[in-house]
């Protein structure tokens, strides 16, 4: 794929329109609770400032569904960027139109302006060519550094790229593609995939794609219950997907055919319900009762999974092992996070819950790479071509 990076493009005195992922969590007062996504964009922004570009920053925030919602304004992001860069980041309350064009055209080399939430316009998510053309009026160069939205074919991720001749990735997008490529395209073996989360249905395409690429797949979280039930075991009140049981059987058969070791929990932490932490106990999966709810993997499973992680040369993790938000059911996920961090393998973690889990375990700095993508990370695992990346091809 012939995709340029910003470092391959002359951006001096050019109006460079950037698509970033500033979709940060806000509290009830509108303050930013976690600025990680903003910080991950800083290397690209600083590079462009240093090269004398005229920076025009765009992003979405939340799901305003084409309506102007003040609580989803990007204004707090402009303030935070100003603090982090130690220089003024101007903010304008729209992202297209004559007023915006006038501000952008008046920028001097090194100036930075952040435009308002692109999803305040309904045309954005429809990839409307007219809206894409309006965005393109602001750009001599287009740079996409929002891996987290690369799976979306929207105006600011795909439409504009088709209208601006000079285009490429930012430093973060390049970093994401290189690191995920290292884990999926030509990984060092043995490769261990760790999949958790609530539903098999969310991970079917991933499982089908990775079984012939992984040497070992470790399954935890609510999705493990459906596989256990497919093997004829009682799972009580646990989250299961009855309509996925046949699919689960087919996936396990496929694992045998591809010689992929498919590991399910041997024991589990159960309780009558998520709020019943004080009643939690460990049982073998063959002894799960009709009134039990499986809420975490047990210590024997942690030991089994850790043994496979220790043998790995490459590790890919998406999805927690249990309801780690609750103290009574977090230990499995925390222990797996620590095992991944302690491994000598090249490790990639993606997906919001998994990223939060390694942070909660205090081992984020010990993981080889933490992806900023949720849905984009999943679609990369599924082997799909990401529209936001394909649109950057020269």
* 384 is known as an active-site residue: no
Contact 116, 77 (CB under 8 A): no
* Same domain flag for 216 and 294: yes
Does residue 389 belong to any structural domain of this protein?
Answer: no
Can you give the residue range of the structural domain that contains 39? 6-172
Contact 169, 392 (CB under 8 A): yes
* Same domain flag for 216 and 300: yes
Catalytic pick among 236, 326, 352, 356: 352
Does residue 387 belong to any structural domain of this protein?
Answer: no
Catalytic pick among 14, 15, 37, 338: 37
* Same domain flag for 212 and 148: no
Beta bridge partners of 91: 114
- How are beta strands 267-271 and 293-297 bridged, if at all? antiparallel
Does residue 203 belong to any structural domain of this protein?
Answer: yes
How many independent structural domains does the chain possess?
2
* Same domain flag for 251 and 290: yes
* 199 is known as an active-site residue: yes
- How are beta strands 281-284 and 267-271 bridged, if at all? antiparallel
* 37 is known as an active-site residue: yes
* 375 is known as an active-site residue: yes
Contact 174, 5 (CB under 8 A): yes
* Same domain flag for 296 and 348: yes
Q: What is the pTM of this model?
A: 0.92
* Same domain flag for 354 and 257: yes
Looking at residue 87, which CATH number applies to its domain? 3.40.50.1260
Choose one of 129, 149, 172: the last residue of a domain.
Answer: 172
Choose one of 146, 172, 198: the last residue of a domain.
Answer: 172
Choose one of 152, 172, 192: the last residue of a domain.
Answer: 172
Catalytic pick among 126, 137, 199, 254: 199
Does residue 391 belong to any structural domain of this protein?
Answer: no
* Cα angle for residues 32, 127, 25 (degrees, 5° grid): 10
CA torsion 152→3→108→36, rounded to 10°?
A: 50
Does residue 292 belong to any structural domain of this protein?
Answer: yes
pLDDT tens, residue order, the chain (394 aa)? 589 999 999 999 999 999 999 999 999 888 999 999 999 999 999 999 999 999 999 999 999 999 999 999 999 999 999 999 999 999 999 999 999 999 999 999 999 999 999 999 999 999 999 999 999 999 999 999 999 999 999 999 999 999 999 999 999 999 999 999 999 988 999 999 999 998 989 899 899 899 989 999 999 999 999 999 999 999 999 999 999 999 999 999 999 999 999 999 999 999 999 999 899 999 999 999 999 999 999 999 999 999 999 999 999 999 999 999 999 999 999 999 999 999 999 999 999 899 999 999 999 999 999 999 989 999 999 999 999 999 999 7
* Same domain flag for 248 and 138: no
* Same domain flag for 106 and 62: yes
Does residue 376 belong to any structural domain of this protein?
Answer: yes
């Amino acid at each position: 794929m012939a995709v340029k990076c910003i470092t391959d493009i002359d951006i001096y005195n050019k109006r460079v329109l950037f698509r970033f992922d500033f979709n940060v969590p806000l509290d009830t007062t509108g303050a930013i609770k976690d600025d990680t996504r903003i910080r991950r964009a800083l290397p690209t922004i600083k590079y462009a400032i240093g090269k004398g570009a005229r920076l025009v920053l765009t992003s979405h925030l939340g799901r305003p569904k084409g309506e102007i919602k003040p609580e989803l304004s990007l204004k707090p992001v402009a303030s935070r960027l100003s603090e982090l860069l130690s220089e003024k980041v101007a903010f304008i309350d729209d992202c297209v139109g004559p007023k915006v064009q006038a501000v952008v055209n008046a920028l001097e080399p090194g100036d930075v302006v952040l435009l308002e939430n692109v999803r305040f316009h309904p045309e954005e998510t429809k990839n409307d060519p007219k809206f894409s053309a309006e965005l393109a009026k602001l750009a001599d160069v287009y740079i996409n550094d929002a891996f987290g939205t690369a799976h979306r074919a929207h105006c600011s991720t795909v439409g504009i790229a088709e209208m601006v001749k000079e285009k490429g990735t930012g430093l973060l997008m390049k970093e994401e593609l290189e690191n995920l490529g290292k884990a999926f395209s030509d990984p060092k073996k043995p490769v261990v995939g760790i999949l958790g989360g609530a539903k098999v249905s969310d991970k079917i395409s991933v499982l089908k794609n990775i079984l012939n690429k992984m040497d070992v797949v470790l399954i935890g979280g609510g999705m493990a219950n459906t596989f256990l039930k497919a093997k004829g075991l009682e799972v009580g009140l646990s989250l299961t997907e009855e309509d996925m049981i046949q699919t689960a059987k087919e996936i396990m058969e496929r694992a045998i055919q591809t010689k992929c070791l498919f590991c399910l929990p041997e024991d589990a932490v159960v309780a009558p319900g998520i709020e019943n932490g004080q009643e939690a106990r460990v049982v073998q999966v063959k002894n799960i009762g009709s009134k039990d709810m499986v809420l975490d993997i047990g210590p024997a499973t942690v030991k089994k999974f850790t043994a496979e992680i220790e043998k790995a040369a490459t590790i890919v993790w998406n999805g927690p092992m249990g309801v780690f938000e609750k103290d009574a059911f977090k230990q499995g996920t925390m222990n797996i996070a620590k095992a991944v961090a302690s491994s000598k393998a090249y490790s990639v973690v993606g997906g919001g819950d998994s990223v939060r889990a390694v942070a909660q375990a205090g081992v984020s700095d010990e993981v080889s790479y933490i992806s900023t993508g949720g849905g984009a990370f999943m679609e990369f695992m599924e082997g799909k071509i990401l529209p936001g990346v394909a649109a950057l091809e020269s």
